[in-house]
Structure 1
């Protein structure tokens, strides 16, 4: 039986369960200390796998379509941050200062890879261009996001300068990423055989990091700071941001004369944000007591982007098939 497009998938449900578990049974004491080291190792493994999955030829083949990639990246790293700042007078009264910073953090993150490519394929978009754009966005995000965060969200960061953050990001995220990418030829066949197992490790690592982040946030009193009304406001804000980003990138792609396939690629590549990059980076960029608060807007946005984008992809798929 096919899942209705408006229902969350199993992984999204697991994300919610992880937050509930961290809220009821947060890690503390010696367990929290051990979990911190395990989480650091899990993040390194996660980015090693990201690097190993990155097909170099797809990037080389896609570089010729620079206008499309420039449009997608402008939405990811320019339009989203501008929305966050321009709408500040409206957002602050709704969610408070800490969650507003979380919304800004969401706006500064790179685009997602897996779901953007998968949805582009379902909708009949330009899959090679989607792979290239999402991969480049991830690489740029590792470099750009720390500078944006330290320049604009300094009070909650755990490092002293953008250079310190970039060094930490490089050591904890970029180095494993590059190692995985350059070792890809030696492990390619093994990765292909272990596809489902690697997916389990990939997603399991993210769940572990989310549990660690929310445990620290719960111990720090997140649910005393975040009300139900704030969560509802975050849902509304996420929907507005998602709608405006889709309108921006899809409208410009159409105005610039891109084919329908490229318009689809631009929509799913430019209007989504990466949970897989955002959660691990939050552990490096922010002190533990606020990391959970910072990723809460991202988790809500992640759920909504999947629901809305899946519905759109299925609609275009049915139109292509004449259903």
Structure 2
């Protein structure tokens, strides 16, 4: 019994993921983004705190190193805006032949979306990866996606694109990411020593935020009827496709990163930034691109399914990367 409890304590993060999913199934309206707990706002605050702590912990030299790592930047952006769209180019006709057109287009939309910001950086942090590189590339992906996503949608699907408010997107990214990080940098001389003294708590905050994001994401999926609005076979098919695509790209990026001689920290950033697709930006962007199309719900189904799958799988993967990093660098062991 003691061994079991010790195992649970050691794997508390993964156990927490399973508990979050179970609670979301039972209490979807409680934890949805605009629900009683207002987790949409709370997780945004949590993300801001995580970025503040990143800014607090990163030296200016580390940030400069993250920006200058051009090989990593090209690798991640190609994964997001070339490898995923290539999946549609190869298999798009098959999707259109064997599933409703709107659902097939939903997968096309999923493949051309930019990466996430908050969870990509948080997962990279948990996995002991290159956080400065992740911050830069997740932000860059979101900005590029404002232009590239509508263009690819028009190219692949024939929809008329709509002008997106670039300044509003840049402002939202800055408010979510850059401002807390800059604040952390400015307060670094005053708070760094305090954070180092309490690093056992500070280094777990990003994990707590991820658990809240997982709970909220699954609550949103359940509350929006994603698991009940379509046939079981259609749902299973969609889930399998999402999972297969995620696993394929994850393993492709891991293999490619090692072939290109990336260090483990860069591989972690590449995997988490290169495989993520944003739900937070994807939903409002879809409303602009597709307008009042009555098929919008089905078009959004793939990203609604992919989002919790990617968070759960990448959280498991982040835990594995963290253990690998501790094996390679034993001095990191006491930071978690």
TM-score higher than 0.5: yes
Matched-pair contact (CA < 8 Å) for 2:106–2:303: yes
Q: Is 2:91 the partner of 1:87?
A: yes
The corresponding residue for 1:202 is 209
The corresponding residue for 2:158 is none
Matched-pair contact (CA < 8 Å) for 1:48–1:180: yes
Q: Is 2:250 the partner of 1:229?
A: no
Deviation at 1:139, TM superposition (A): 0.9
**In structure 1, distance between residues paired with 2:98 and 2:16:** 29
**In structure 2, distance between residues paired with 1:217 and 1:47:** 24
Per the alignment, do residues 138 and 224 of structure 1 end up closer, same or farther by CA in structure 2, a change over 3 Å counting? same
Matched-pair contact (CA < 8 Å) for 1:113–1:131: yes
Matched-pair contact (CA < 8 Å) for 1:26–1:216: no
The corresponding residue for 1:161 is 162
Give the TM-score, by structure 1 length.
Answer: 0.67
- 1:277-319 CA-partner distances (Å, limit 9, x unpaired): 83433454355x8467632212123323444565577578769
Q: Is 2:245 the partner of 1:244?
A: no
The corresponding residue for 1:214 is 221
Instruction: Write the mapping of 1:21-40 to structure 2, written as runs, cut at 5 A.
Output: 21=26, 25=29, 35=35, 38=38
For structure 1, list consecutive stretches of 5 or more residues without a partner in the other structure. 122-126, 155-159
Equivalent position SS for 1:225: coil
Match of 2:303 among 279, 294, 318: 294
**In structure 2, distance between residues paired with 1:232 and 1:14:** 22
Deviation at 1:135, TM superposition (A): 1.1
Per the alignment, do residues 43 and 16 of structure 1 end up closer, same or farther by CA in structure 2, a change over 3 Å counting? closer
Deviation at 1:77, TM superposition (A): 3.2
Deviation at 1:208, TM superposition (A): 6.9
Instruction: Write the mapping of 1:59-70 to structure 2, written as runs, cut at 5 A.
Output: 59-70=63-74
**In structure 1, distance between residues paired with 2:104 and 2:8:** 32
The corresponding residue for 1:115 is 123
Count of equivalent residues: 295
Equivalent position SS for 2:209: helix
- 1:85-134 CA-partner distances (Å, limit 9, x unpaired): 43223445666534762574366332622323433x4xxxxx4xx22321
Per the alignment, do residues 266 and 200 of structure 1 end up closer, same or farther by CA in structure 2, a change over 3 Å counting? closer
Match of 1:77 among 67, 81, 85: 81
**In structure 1, distance between residues paired with 2:73 and 2:33:** 42
Matched-pair contact (CA < 8 Å) for 1:84–1:103: yes
Equivalent position SS for 2:272: coil
Moved more, 144-153 or 178-187: 144-153
**In structure 2, distance between residues paired with 1:65 and 1:270:** 12
- 1:190-225 CA-partner distances (Å, limit 9, x unpaired): 89356278547734652575367336623xxx3443
Deviation at 1:74, TM superposition (A): 2.0
Per the alignment, do residues 172 and 209 of structure 1 end up closer, same or farther by CA in structure 2, a change over 3 Å counting? farther
Equivalent position SS for 1:298: helix
Deviation at 1:136, TM superposition (A): 1.3
The corresponding residue for 1:124 is none
Matched-pair contact (CA < 8 Å) for 2:77–2:141: no
